[in-house]
Amino acid sequence: MELVKADQGPEQQQVSIPDVLAVLPLPDIVVFPYMIVPLFVNRDRSAKAVDQALSENRMILMVSQKNANVDDPKAEDLHDFGTVSVIMRMLKLPDGRVRILVQGFSRAKVEYFDDSKAYITAKVEPKTEPQVVPDSPELEALIRNVKSSLEKMVSLGKNISPDLVAIATQIDDPGRLSDLVASNLDLKIDRAQEVLELLDPVARLRRVHELMAKEIGVLEIQNDINTQARGEMDKSQREFYLRQQMKAIQQELGEGNELQEEIEQYRRKIKKAKMPSEVTEEAERQLGRLERMHPDAAETATLRNYLDWMVSLPWSKSTKDNLDLKKAQKILDEDHYGLEKIKERIVEHLAVRKLKKDTKGPILCLVGPPGVGKTSLGKSIARALGRKFVRISLGGVHDEAEIRGHRRTYVGAMPGRIIQSIHQAGTNNPVFMMDEVDKIGADFRGDPSSALLEVLDPEQNFAFRDNYLGVPFDLSNVMFITTANMLDPIQPAFRDRMEIIQLSGYTEEEKVEIAKRHLMPKQTAEHGLTNEQIQFTDEGLRTIINLYTQEAGLRNLEREIAAACRKVAKQVALGEKTTRKIHTDNLDQFLGRPKIFQEELLKRDQVGVATGLAWTPVGGDVLFVEATAMKGRGGLTLTGQLGDVMKESAQAALSYARSHAKEFGISDDFFSKHDIHVHVPEGAIPKDGPSAGVTMATAILSLLTQKAVHRKIAMTG
């Protein structure tokens, strides 16, 4: 450990520097002694070096990299001369980065680096400056030149703090002055490193003076360029004045003006668009700005784009609703089988519109599993109403500006997706479907679902204000339909604005009917087949539904039908002309072995085994509950990956059996001398729910009374 004299202003003190220090590699800066600088520490190894320094004496070696582009520098990537510095302050930011404030302390030569630890260390030799001959005329002249050069740089526009200049004028130490000036010259890394490695204060100050002279030359050239640029600007203003005079002369001569013709076209379009008065006023104001603007001005393109949007939006254009209830019901039935609740709701809306013309459009939310026809139902509703249909997918949208649009100050700004879709529809009363509203994201740019609150509120959406347009647009005539797979992710305020309609999965009979009416004709046509070349029996379809698919919707069923059509298409293409009737017995020839194995009934009645009914996302299923007893102390063991609710149901079932023991002929000491084990098979599948209590109670009572439960009785509740 070596003692080094440190300059701390008016006082001089000796501070010990350890022989080995942690190293902080610097990619784009050189730290000089006496220099106070804030730094961001982004690298893991550098952060560990900072932690090590803080845990000991707060000293760390600042060494510049030879190549700033190296992200993970090794010992060979670092200069062997640096600055011992003191960490004055450290702050950990929320994003994981570390910000430190360091002060240079002493120059140091690196004898060797050690790269074997979690951070780089170095054996250092602190360097002291040689003594300077005091009152030397040459030194006095050099110091004065440096100070005057610093003042000249400030006068030429160099961004140097006045406080720094004031401090420099008070310093007569050549080493201290050279380091202070060099740290504020914006030197390249190699030049700054060169200055750092000069130990002789006079030689270092002379080198800094040379660099200042070069910087002054650059600043003088820069000022000359700025003066020339101002002259060019005055010239452009003079040209603008002349153009204005030429424009007036052309008008006097009656010559054509393209911009004036364009403005007249915009004026006619504004009148034709039949905008509300507030919107018309804003459009004419922007048109006036365009009229006063020079044709070559950069902002004319932005104004033209804005006016194009304003005049092309359907402010007063709407389609007439089809109020024939029977025709609407027929269209809905043609497109979709089942879904009676939503069809009834649409027909009710039409009936109300027939009686009251100015009824606001409903805001419906269709909630159901994938593949039940939520999106296609929107198109069918639009066809039944005689309206245009537009759809946007909100899955993954996380920027509020996608809904409300960007302000016109941004380059490439456009209206949000709401206004864009209305523009695409060409009418102000389309059926507007927002898909996947439960999958909207949110981040630092805002929450899109909050922006949709105004869109989906009938009390507010008559004056929806897009950020790009800056004027209100009436959305009250739009019929909004949203879709979601689950309600839980939708925030309560958003959910409260919508009428929730649950679409459960289809039953087996409904799936068979839909396959016959829609899926089979569609896939037959898409594969170039005729009804004579391929036929599905009802039993064959039921087998596909039960043994090859397991879903609430119809997508996998359509895929299996398509797979069978491809097999038949191949046979037809090979020249075979026999009719292919697909039924249960030959289904494996077209689709392979069954993919789903359904739970079968017990082969015989058993004691301690009861059959329950279970709910799954893809439909109902059966669930067996098994109970057995063994000698013990009255404990209850539950297995089969049961959730908390099912565990409580089992405990309640046992309590019921104990409280009614006499009624069932069970001895009083049975429970104190036996343990009961309740198991629900398929232990790899988590199970939970409130409706298994009666099944568990039945299984336990069957065990205790030694009476078998009929295998064809299933229960829930």
Could you give the C-alpha distances from 8 to 15, 104, 105, 208, in angstroms and in order? 11, 11, 9, 22
Q: Indicate if 214 and 336 belong to the same structural domain.
A: no
CATH number of the domain within which 38 lies? 2.30.130.40
Q: Indicate if 122 and 152 belong to the same structural domain.
A: no
Q: Indicate if 485 and 338 belong to the same structural domain.
A: yes
DSSP state of 116: S
DSSP state of 516: I
What's the full length of the chain, in residues? 717
How many domains, the chain? 6
CATH number of the domain within which 689 lies? 3.30.230.10
Does residue 81 register a pLDDT over 90?
yes
Q: Indicate if 483 and 541 belong to the same structural domain.
A: no
Q: Are 361 and 430 in contact (CB under 8 A)?
A: no
pLDDT at 5: 46
Does residue 553 register a pLDDT over 50?
yes
Residue 234 lies in a domain: no
Q: Are 362 and 499 in contact (CB under 8 A)?
A: yes
Q: Indicate if 340 and 193 belong to the same structural domain.
A: no
Domain boundary among the residues 556, 591, 626 is at 591
Residue 246 lies in a domain: no
CATH number of the domain within which 538 lies? 1.10.8.60
Does residue 7 register a pLDDT over 50?
no
CA 183 vs. chain centroid, Å, equals: 42
Residue 616 lies in a domain: yes
Residue 253 lies in a domain: no
Token duo for residue 352: 């109300």
CATH number of the domain within which 343 lies? 3.40.50.300
Q: Indicate if 583 and 699 belong to the same structural domain.
A: no
pLDDT one-digit tens code per residue, 647-691: 888 788 888 888 887 777 788 778 778 888 888 887 657 767 777
Residue 318 lies in a domain: no
pLDDT one-digit tens code per residue, 151-187: 888 888 777 878 888 888 888 888 888 888 888 888 8
pLDDT one-digit tens code per residue, 196-207: 888 888 888 888
Residue 358 lies in a domain: yes
pLDDT at 84: 92
Mean pLDDT of the chain: 80
Q: Are 162 and 151 in contact (CB under 8 A)?
A: no
pLDDT one-digit tens code per residue, 310-346: 888 888 888 887 777 787 788 877 777 777 787 787 7
Residue 644 lies in a domain: yes
Q: Indicate if 306 and 389 belong to the same structural domain.
A: no
Q: Indicate if 277 and 366 belong to the same structural domain.
A: no
Q: Indicate if 331 and 471 belong to the same structural domain.
A: yes
Could you list the residue range(s) of the whole structural domain that residue 372 is in? 325-502
**Residue 610: beta bridge partners?**
625
Could you give the C-alpha distances from 715 to 606, 643, 693, 705, 709, in angstroms and in order? 16, 19, 10, 19, 11
Q: Indicate if 638 and 531 belong to the same structural domain.
A: no
CATH number of the domain within which 204 lies? 1.20.58.1480
Please return the burial class of 531, using the count of CB atoms within 10 Å of its CB with bins 0-12, 13-18 and 19+.
Answer: exposed
Q: Indicate if 458 and 360 belong to the same structural domain.
A: yes
Q: How confident is the model at residue 383 (pLDDT cuts 50, 70, 90)?
A: confident
Q: Indicate if 211 and 302 belong to the same structural domain.
A: no
Residue 232 lies in a domain: no
Contacts of 446 (CB under 8 A, 6+ apart): 399, 400, 401
